[in-house]
Amino acid sequence: MIGGGAIRAGDLLLDPARDEMADRALSPMKRTPVVGAELGPDAGMIGAATMALELDREVA
């Protein structure tokens, strides 16, 4: 999954990533889909906030 502002490039970014995955990944990982994040450009920020909340719960 690719997110952040770069995902606005769509297949211009995703197609080369898919090609690299197909060339370099070990089976069965070659079947892993390379897709744009459903949360779009905010995916990284939302993921980081979620991770911070989870880590805070572990410490408390």
- What pTM value is reported for the model? 0.64
Burial of 36 (0-12, 13-18, 19+ CB in 10 A): buried
Mean pLDDT of 34-39: 87
pLDDT of residue 20: 93
For the chain, the domain total comes to 1
pLDDT of residue 11: 94
Question: Which amino acid is present at 19?
Answer: D
pLDDT of residue 12: 95
